[in-house]
Amino acid sequence: MMTGLTKTRINLSLLALALGGFGIGSTEFVAMGLLPNLAEDLLPELYRANEQAALGQAGWLISAYALGVVVGAPTIAALSARFPRKTLLLWLLAAFTVGTIASAVLPSFGLVLAARFIAGLPHGAYFGIAALVAASLIGKEKRGQGVAIVLSGLTIANVIGVPLITLLGQTTSWRVAYLVVAAIFAATFLAVWAVLPAQPGDPTATMKRELAAFSRLQVWLALLIGAVGFGGFFAVYSYVAPVVTEVTRLDESFVPIALVCIGIGMTIGNLIGGRAADHNIMGTVFACFGLFVVSMLVFAMFSSTVVGLLIGLFLVGGAASALSPAIQTRLMDVAGDSQTLAAAVNHASLNLGNSLGAYLGGVTIAAGYGYLSPTWVGLLLCVPGILLAIFSLGLERRRPISRPSDVVAELITPE
């Protein structure tokens, strides 16, 4: 624990970091509810000619952000481990602000697509560095609580921020919605600058040491399991808005309610998944894929009814969010000394799934298979996810994983 700080200063610092998570959750997920608005405004000719094709192509905006996370998380984490953490967080928040403003004001689909990619670059590094800072603020014995506070910003965004900003975008413009998100990042920048104490980076870190994680097969397997699992989630989540309006036949105003339902599922799933992973990581992974299968079937078969829609979305969100802490813990176990990188690349893995799910779902919709076709894509993605998990577990039994003797020591640089 950092000495010389009052409890109030520590709590304000944690809240400032959580506000960044709130902004990230908002910028990442608000496109799902506003997808029809984005398609109609940025692809007007295609939207008039073929609404499904336009929605499928608009889904690329979700994929572009996710690809930015995939590229940025390992790159920034490996390059910046030595940098002072507060300074690095401020640069990342500045990049979020600029990229989100660009997303809101650029005039064409291609330029907005590029802006979404740029806005995604700081995502994984922010969560990784913020988690390390939170752990150092409140000490070894409470590090889990600190990390949970940072991640709670993203969870709360899905329950409150995304639905409210989606509603704002529907009643005004999707561009206004993104400007609000940019304002959240700007406020986080000021909060972090004002209350977060200065922290040095890891003076012993080298790019070679961090990137050494990628020489481990188990790291790649954990990343692929997370990507496939979240691919199924985002295949559904990315196209919630058209399912609500075209399949369940509800008004557009019901979309925020559907998003709240997903957010509640994610919140509960995150709590359960974190506790379950502490007892049995791979058992949790298998359980999550089992829940994925059930939730996808419920959603595909019953989403024409309001009850079926909401239950399906709740279960899909719960399965995905429960998987996240299990994959994060697994990465920490298998990454060896590359703990900084491991703290960031989990989000690269999950957003690779974001990109994969949104893209494949868009392809099936554009091909004319209907708005529920991405659900079957998600169901099929469970197959390689389960097979990868079985292979990883079998490999571990033949070659036991050499874990760091004290993960906390690797996570928290002595101040």
Amino acid of residue 179: L
**Which of 3.20.20.100, 2.40.50.100, 2.60.40.10, 1.20.1250.20 is the CATH number of 7-411?**
1.20.1250.20
Q: Is the pLDDT of residue 142 over 70?
A: no
Query: Residue 90: its pLDDT value, please?
Result: 95
**Euclidean distance between CA atoms 124 and 67, whole angstroms:** 11
Listed by start position, the domains of the chain span 7-411
**Euclidean distance between CA atoms 343 and 333, whole angstroms:** 11
Query: Residue 97: its pLDDT value, please?
Result: 95
Question: Tokens 């998944």, residue?
Answer: 273
* Burial category of 195 from C-beta neighbours within 10 Å (exposed 0-12, middle 13-18, buried 19 and up): middle
Contacts (Cβ under 8 Å, ≥6 apart) of 51: 39
Q: Is the pLDDT of residue 320 over 90?
A: no
If one counts every other C-beta atom within 10 angstroms of the C-beta of residue 172, the result is 13
* Burial category of 251 from C-beta neighbours within 10 Å (exposed 0-12, middle 13-18, buried 19 and up): exposed
Quick one: pLDDT band at residue 3, thresholds 50, 70, 90?
A: low
pLDDT digits (tens, 9 = 90+) for 237-286: 888 888 999 999 998 888 888 988 988 898 888 778 877 877 788 888 99
For the record, the structure tokens of 195 come out as: 């209350």
Query: Residue 114: its pLDDT value, please?
Result: 94
Distance, first Cα to last Cα, the chain: 9
- DSSP string for 64-90: HHHHHHHHHHHHHHHHHTTS-HHHHHH
Contacts (Cβ under 8 Å, ≥6 apart) of 349: 222, 223, 224, 226, 227, 230, 327, 331
Question: Tokens 């012993």, residue?
Answer: 204
Q: Is the pLDDT of residue 401 over 80?
A: no
For the record, the structure tokens of 97 come out as: 């602000």
